[in-house]
Copies of this chain bind each other. A is one copy, B any other.
Amino acid sequence: MSTAAHRSGCPINLSLEVFGDRWSLIILRDMMFGGRRHFRELLTRSEEGISSNILADRLKMLLDEGMITKTDDPSHKQKAVYSLTEKSIALVPIFAHLGAWGRRYLPVSEELSIRAQLLEEGGPALWDQFMAELRELHLGEPAKREGPTVAEQLQAAYEKVLARQAAKTRR
């Protein structure tokens, strides 16, 4: 494998050859915005219900493509930790635009689009901050923060929506 010739040298085509399928970006999204780092987390806490063979296959591919790395988890001899690389962290702006586009044109659910809304409103400055946090978390870069992390802000907003929805249902 890996001998497969490329369809063309167009940057858009080559990008699609890496993550132009129904699952690769879902996995990266869950690692980026959902904090998933282990196989089992990605498998069972997947909103879309990925199956284990597909997940294993895509993780292998993303590894080959240099989009993620895999290291041992000291706490368990069988446990692996998957980390993002600079190459995948660089996709943050694309995720932000994808989220914004989906929110505008597709039947999104409120609770699953609040993060996209915040990311859209925050703009490139917020994306950069989030990317710095990811580098810190996945690449071990030194932190230089002030106040709550972007990840915390996104999570807080998500939980606030969930709480409001629960209250509304209860009424």
Contact = CB atoms under 8 A, between A and B. Distances in A.
B8 A101 contact: no
Contacts of A111: 9
A137 interface: no
Q: How large is the interface on A (under 10, 10 to 19, 20 to 34, 35 or more residues)?
A: 35 or more
A156 interface: no
Given A8-B112, A11-B106, A91 B87 contact: no
**Could you say how many copies of this chain the assembly holds?**
2
B101 A10 contact: no
A93 B97 contact: yes
Given A22-B20, A107-B6, A11 B113 contact: yes
Contacts of A99: 11-12, 15
Interface string A100-111: 111111111101
A25 B20 contact: yes
Nearest to A104: B90
Interface of A: 6-18, 20-22, 25-26, 29, 47-49, 87, 90-91, 93-95, 97-109, 111-113, 116
